[in-house]
Chain A
Amino acid sequence: MPNNRTATPAVALHGITKKYGRLVAVRNLHLEVIPGEIFGFLGLNGAGKTTTLRILLDLLRPTAGRAFVFGRDCQRQGLEVRAMVGYLPGELGLYGDMTGQELLDLLARLGRYTVQPEYRAELLQKLQLSRSDLGRKLREYSTGMKRKLGLVQAFQGDPTLLILDEPTEGLDPLMQESFYEVLFNVQQRGRTVFMSSHVLSEVERVCDRIALLRRGELILLSPVEEVRRMAARRVRVLFSQDVLSGPSRLPEGHEVLEVTPRSWSIRVHGALGSLVNTLSGLPVKDIEVYEPRLEEVLMKYYREDSL
Chain B
Amino acid sequence: MNSGLALLLHSIRRIRTLVLVMAWILAGFQILLILAASVIQESNGFGQLAGLLPDFMRQMLGPSLIALLSFSGIVCLGYFHIAVIGALIGLTVVLATEPAGEIETQFMDLVMAHSISRHWIITRTVLLILGCTAFVLAAMMLGTWFGLHWLAPKEAIQPTLRTARALICNLGVLLLCWGGVTLVMTSLARRRSVPGSAVGLLALASYLVDYLARVWKPARSVSWLSPFHYFNAIDFLTSGTLPPRDIWVLAGTAVCGCGLAYVLFARRDL
Contact = CB atoms under 8 A, between A and B. Distances in A.
Contact of A107 (B14, B110, B117): B110
Given A59-B109, A61-B269, A112 B102 contact: no
A89 B270 CA distance: 13
A1 interface: no
A283 to B, nearest CB: 58
Interface in A76-102: 79-80, 82-83, 85, 87, 89, 91-95, 97
A91 B102 CA distance: 13
Most buried by A among B3, B108, B114: B114
Most buried by B among A80, A110, A112: A110
A97 B267 CA distance: 31
Contact of B1 (A83, A97, A109): A109
Interface in B1-55: 1, 3, 6-7, 10, 14
Interface in B37-84: none
Which 7 residue pairs across A and B have the least CB separation, nearest first? Answer: A93-B106, A87-B113, A109-B6, A93-B107, A83-B115, A110-B114, A111-B114
B269 A89 contact: no
Given A61-B269, A93-B107, A93-B108, A85 B6 contact: no
A159 to B, nearest CB: 10
Interface residues of B, number: 23
Interface string B94-136: 0000000010011111111111110000000000000000000
Contacts, number: 74
Nearest to B6: A109
Interface of A: 54, 57-61, 79-80, 82-83, 85, 87, 89, 91-95, 97, 106-107, 109-113, 153
Nearest to B111: A110
A60 B109 CA distance: 10
A89 B102 CA distance: 14
25 contacts: A54-B270, A57-B109, A59-B108, A59-B109, A59-B112, A61-B269, A79-B115, A79-B116, A82-B115, A87-B109, A87-B110, A89-B113, A91-B106, A93-B102, A93-B105, A93-B109, A95-B14, A95-B105, A95-B107, A107-B110, A107-B111, A107-B114, A111-B3, A111-B114, A112-B3
Contacts of B102: 93
A106 B113 contact: no
